[in-house]
Amino acid sequence: MLKCGLKTPVFSDFLNVDIKEMKNDLLIRAAKGEQVERIPVWMMRQAGRILPEYRAVRSSVNGFKELVKNPELICEVTLQPVDILGVDAAIIFSDILVIPEAMGLNYEMIESKGPNFPKTITSEQDVAELTTDVIPNLEYVFESLRLTKSALNGRVPLIGFAGAPWTIFSYMIEGKGSKTFSQAKKMLYTNPVLAHQLLDKITTATIAYLQEQIKNGADIVQVFDSWAGVLSKAQYVEFALPYMNRIAAAITAVPVILFAKDAHYILTEFAQTNANVIGLDWTIEPAAARAQTKGKTLQGNLDPCVLYADKATIKKETEKMLQSFGGQQYICNLGHGVYPDVNFEHAKYFIEVVQDYKL
């Protein structure tokens, strides 16, 4: 049952309407460091992994990419966790790899294997051929945002997102997932000039993309550096941080969340950026993160595997975490995307525990 149909009059009324009053703006206030009366909570990958309702939508289309390009279905699956799990934010269902594609590098998503780029970037010519004029190629995302924003009707904030330049670069060079991303890293050592050229173009495209997401309804944006952990600190400082900095400086209309998985070494530097929120994976101790990121809101960081446990364990582990972070300048989340085989009832219980937690 589609809730977000373009032809559904009840929602079309809201299209392009600026929703002044948000019923639940906890996430935005926490992101800005404002006082909250309870801790906001959402889950990375909350849309598109664990819900039976998502799987029903997913099986109605021919492959992941068909879903990623269908605004009505995107709206549908983006709303599902708000309706079913009661999270305090919606995050638009999409894929970080829409940016390389919009720049001119197509990819395919291979079932149970992951993304594959038939052509990868190997030369200056390849980089030169990429466009940064990506907005016309991403209209399906913006339409999805408008539809979703309208359908949300101010219930909770809508999160936009993009991959971090280093992570997007990794896929464009490596061509697929990797444990080491050794081919992408190879270019950092063998052709740093070309690496910077490509990272610069990705950053330009990403800033334009995020700004257009905001124009079309995103109330806050997150930048995902999924493969940060394969870099040394020196490399991150040279090849990733300057581009994260540029993004955080360019996005001023809404709060920005930076999340670099496994980059335990970069928290102090992230705290110097213009970003409002720093995301943490579960290998980071809350107290250590607080000490390194004064003034910033923190987001995270429950081990996604906790959701495999029984309710008593979920409650115990979640509350231990909430206590460690404290109730202000904090957004509760997992430390990475929810795993596909997690029982959604457990995820729902996690959300409830956070929302019942008394400050």
Whether 55 is catalytic is no
- Closest Cα partner for 94 from 64, 129, 127? 64
Q: Does 327 bind its own copies (CB under 8 A)?
A: no
| Alpha carbon distance 142, 210 (integer Å) | 10
Which residue in the list 171, 209, 243, 349 is annotated as catalytic? 171
Q: Pairing mode, if any, of strands 158-163 and 90-91?
A: parallel
Based on the residue annotation, tell me whether 58 is a catalytic residue of this protein: yes
Cα-based angle 174, 238, 329 (whole degrees, multiple of 5):
100
Strand partners, 181: none
175: contact with its own copies by CB under 8 A:
no
Helix (H, G, I), strand (E, B) or coil at 183: helix
- In whole angstroms, the minimum distance from the beta carbon of 88 to its own copies comes to 24
Candidate list 6, 19, 135, 309; residue touching its own copies; CB under 8 A = 309
Per-residue interface string for the shown chain with its own copies, residues 70-109, x marking contact by CB under 8 A = ----------------------------------------
Encoding tokens for residue 269? 């530097």
Tell me how far apart the alpha carbons of residues 39 and 323 are, in angstroms, rounded to a whole number. Answer: 11
Least distance from its own copies to the Cβ atom of residue 17, Å: 41
Min. distance of Cβ 174 from its own copies in angstroms? 12
Which x/- pattern over 229-248 shows residues binding its own copies (rule: CB under 8 A)? x-xxx-x-------------
CA-nearest of 352, 269, 263 to 43 is 352
Rounded Cα gap, residues 123 and 141, in angstroms: 30
| Contact assessment for residue 197 and residue 124, using Cβ atoms and an 8 Å cutoff | yes
| Among residues 136, 189, 193, 294, the one that binds its own copies under rule CB under 8 A | 189
45 among known catalytic residues: yes
- The secondary structure element, H or E, covering residue 139 is helix 139-152
State which residue, 128 or 234, has the beta carbon closest to its own copies: 234
C-alpha to C-alpha distances, 332 to 70, 194, 205, 325, nearest whole angstrom: 30, 39, 30, 9
Query: Residues in contact with its own copies, total (CB under 8 A)?
Result: 32
305 residue type, one letter: C
Amino acid, res. 228 = A
Cβ-based nearer residue to its own copies, 63 or 340: 340
- Closer residue to its own copies (CB): 33 or 192: 192
Q: What backbone phi and psi angles, to 5 degrees, belong to 158?
A: -110, 125
Residue 305 makes contact with its own copies by CB under 8 A: yes
Binding of its own copies at residue 306 (CB under 8 A)? yes
Interface map 328-347 toward its own copies (x if CB under 8 A): -----------x-x------
- For the annotated catalytic residues, the residue numbers are 45, 49, 58, 95, 171
Contact positions vs its own copies (CB under 8 A):
179-180, 182, 185-186, 188-190, 229, 231-233, 235, 262-265, 282-285, 303-306, 308-310, 313, 317, 339, 341
